[in-house]
Chain A
Amino acid sequence: MKLKQHASKRTFMKNAACAVVLGLFTMASSQVTAEVNTTGLAVTDDTVTVGILHSLTGTMAISETGAQEAEKLAIKQINEMGGILGRKIKIIQEDGASDWPTFAEKSRKLLVKDKVAAVFGCWTSASRKAALPVFEKENGLLYYPTFYEGLEQSKNVIYTGQEATQQIIDGLNWVAKEKKAKTFYLIGSDYIWPRTSMKIARKHIENVLGGKVVGEEYKPLGNTQFGSVINKIRLKKPDVIYAAVVGGSNVAWFKQLKAAGITSKKQTLLTISVTEDEVLGIGGENLEGFYSIMKYFQSQDNPNNKAFVKAFKEMWGEDSVIGDVTQAAYLGPWLWKAAVEKAGSFDIDKVVAASEKGDIELTTAPEGYVKLHPNHHLWSKARVGRWNKDGQATVVYTSELIEPDPFPKGYQ
């Protein structure tokens, strides 16, 4: 009993001494917490807490693993550089369990209980739609990494992936020019993102390119039978198959295409739903010669990307692959850092205001240069990659920087 008392007294002294020293130190290096945090967020003199909210279990765990790994890498790097406003970032991770209501529940927990200064998370549109009202209600800040359908712009979300037009239009222009494509067959999984993307693609093909859509097809999520569709495609003989099939269906789709003798030798195929992550499951030999439109490929040859790939593999293992969304997720913490430093505060309203100025840019992004548009989306380039047998893509086309436009006129 006595001993314990003694010990606790000693730790108290030690803590006090530390606090004094730290206090002096933080005074010198950064602003007072009361100034940078006026709304009661989880910010102390030397730490700031953020949330990571992805699915660790369930069907989406496959896709979301990369994103959360990239976010952790970025946060680690930021901490090594001294953190944000002199404060180290602490992470609270929650599991969305591939279940949309859980995303809403956990978002609420992160915002209400943990008072996190920002959340990096969500993957599917459904999980974002479920969590969005919570973020708006509790005035949180979400960095959302996935390329998505657009038609949304919330004060409380920063979209680090590309909205639909940024991905689609340049890719279609490229294929029309390079492959002299006139007829297109559109196929996707049946939910909001493929449907919206196909709507934009169809308008662009018909109104701008003067081409023709000879078929449009949506298969239920998880469908593994494409025999009939492949026969239909054969009957229509399109110049280009334009695909947005997702998840496990993707593997069945490409395996069956190959089995039906439709390979890149005979057929041009352009997809907006295959990244390096998916190729791991599909197998490079089934995809060889087909094209993906993304904003980032792991094989991109620039110093930023080389450093990023190296750091990622050091942290998460030599075998890890990096897809488009993983890279977009990596941008989240850096964009947040830039906005907080610009605002000189962690307050959500001030960070959002700083983000909306339109001059936050990252020159160190693995994909190259990105800039945050006042509409909460990123200026980014579209790239077309041709898949090789080893599961990596060769970039064959890079666009100019494209302005994000979540509510495109003429495409609705």
Chain B
Amino acid sequence: MNYFYEKVMGGKSGLTGFIILAVVILVAFPLFLDIFRLNLVGKYLTYAFPAVSLVLLWGYGGILSLGQGVFFGLGGYAMAMFLKLEASSPENTAIQSTPGIPDFMDWNQLTELPWFWVPFESFTFTLLAVIIVPAIFAYIIGAAMFKRRVGGVYFAIITQVIAVILTVLIVGQQGYIGGINGITDLRTLHGWDITTDNAKVIFYYICCLLLLSIVIVGRLILTSKFGSLLLAMRDKEDRVRFSGYDVSHFKIFIFCVASIFSAIGGALFTLQVGFMSPSFVGIVPSIEMVIFCAVGGRMSLIGAIYGALLINFGKTAFSETFPQLWLFLMGGLFIAVVMFFPNGLAGIWNTYGHYITDRLKQLKTVFVMKPSPQEAKQDLG
């Protein structure tokens, strides 16, 4: 228990951060936001999954993937395929030339369900696929790249090219996976209407709980010996290699973990928003995920979540009032974060946050007349 407290929760400050986050998303948001805004926040939180995955991969591992959208998309599409099959029962699709297959297949003259759709009739398989398919895909990419010591900028570009290729594939294969429209009009899960307010609240809580769990998993990874090696590898890869470790295995492992995190986010996205489209797979969403992470703080699992929330709030608010300014602001933010605040919000908090906490403590000493020990601890946050 003590180990758990010190290592995983990161001691006092880490635990405080975690509890604040939990209170904000589990209590404050549902209390103060109406169902429409809450559903929006739920959507934003699904983007926090890839952002958190990038903290592990990029912040600690030094591997920048510009293709997290690929995994987000794989997870999302797996879930969407299951829901679409359920929505395309022969009764619902009676007006088609071939009832019982998804509508876009019918429009593209397909007369039977393609083989790779068949297993998605099972919900268990779908849940497994959300995790396993992206992991296998990440393993193949990772094994090919890291074994050959491809890294850095070059790896970033290759992941981006993969994102493009997947987008072109999806858009080009509209008979099989819905093309540019994506897979739309998803209504029920085992007969339960997922478009109701009730369902949205339930998905919101599921999303929050899973997000908090992956933060804990992330901390477990980072506080283990593997976490230290990851950092060492980022800073001096050769030395780790010369110490007798096979660096590529670590990289492949962390890449797979990151891909699974992103995919879970994608699956939750499909459930909350009710459709999936190739516009979450390509370059732009993938880079946006990096900016969520960078703004929140690339070294902070919790910061990344705030980053995702903040940027998306900003996007919605600005696009409602000054759509023209949004791109300028977003571009400026990219540059500012990279040039001046490489550790993002979390970095700002760590640098300036103690002014606030000190002030609070002073207040406390004034009112309670009991000095508290000054702690200056770098948190894993």
Residues of A within 8 A of B (CB): 56-57, 94-95, 97, 99-102, 104-105, 108-109, 112-113, 125-126, 129-130, 132-133, 137, 149, 151, 190-192, 195-196, 199, 220-221, 407, 412
Complex: A56 Cα to B319 Cα, angstroms: 9
- 8 cross-chain pairs, A with B, having the tightest CB-CB distances, nearest first: A95-B323, A126-B181, A129-B184, A191-B180, A129-B181, A112-B36, A57-B323, A56-B323
Assess whether A196 is in contact with B174, with CB atoms less than 8 Å apart.
no
Report the Cα distance A407→B274, complex, angstroms: 26
Q: List 11 A-B contacts (CB under 8 A).
A: A57-B319, A57-B326, A100-B181, A101-B279, A105-B40, A105-B43, A129-B184, A133-B195, A191-B180, A191-B181, A221-B171
- Contact residue among B97, B180, B324 (Cβ-Cβ distance under 8 Å from A412): B97
**B interface, by DSSP: helix, strand, loop or mixed?**
helix
* Cα separation A412 to B108 with both chains bound (whole Å): 9
When the two chains form their complex, are residues A104 and B273 in contact, meaning their CB atoms are under 8 A apart?
yes
CB distance from B348 to the nearest CB of A (A): 29
Q: B312-331 toward A: CB 8 Å interface, digit per residue (1/0)?
A: 00001001100110110000
Contact across chains for A221 and B180 when beta carbons are under 8 A apart: yes
A126: B residues at CB distance < 8 A: 180-182, 277
Distance in angstroms from A57 CB to nearest chain B CB is: 5
CB contact between A104 and one of B104, B181, B275, B320 (< 8 Å): that residue: B275
Give chain B residues whose Cβ lies under 8 Å from the Cβ of A196.
Answer: 107
Q: For A133, give its contact among B174, B184, B323 (CB under 8 Å).
A: B184
Task: Report which of B97, B182, B316, B320 forms a contact with A100, defined as CB distance below 8 A.
Answer: B182
Contact A133-B180, Cβ < 8 Å, known A57-B326, A97-B323, A220-B168: no
Q: Which chain B residue has the least Cβ–Cβ distance from A98?
A: B279
Say whether B95 faces chain A, with CB atoms less than 8 Å apart. yes
Contact B109 A199 (CB under 8 A): yes
Contacts of A105 in B (CB 8 A): 40, 43, 316
Q: Please, which residues of chain A bring their CB within 8 A of the CB of B114?
A: none
CA gap between A97 and B179 in the complex, in Å: 20
Give residues of chain B (202-235) contacting chain A, Cβ–Cβ below 8 Å.
none
What residue of chain B has the Cβ atom nearest to residue A150's Cβ? B107
- B317 CB to closest chain A CB, in angstroms? 12
With an 8 A cutoff between CB atoms, is B185 at the interface? yes
Query: When chains A and B are docked, how far (Å) is the Cα of A339 from the Cα of B323?
Result: 33
Q: CB of B361 within 8 A of chain A?
A: no
Chain A residue contacts of B104, Cβ below 8 A? 192
Q: Is B187 engaged at the interface, CB distance under 8 Å to the other chain? A: yes
Q: Give the CA-CA distance A97 to B279 in the complex, in Å.
A: 12
> Is A132 touching B184 in the complex (CB atoms < 8 A)?
yes
The answer to whether B332 has its CB under 8 Å from any CB of chain A is no
Task: Judge whether B152 is part of the interface by a CB distance below 8 angstroms.
Answer: no
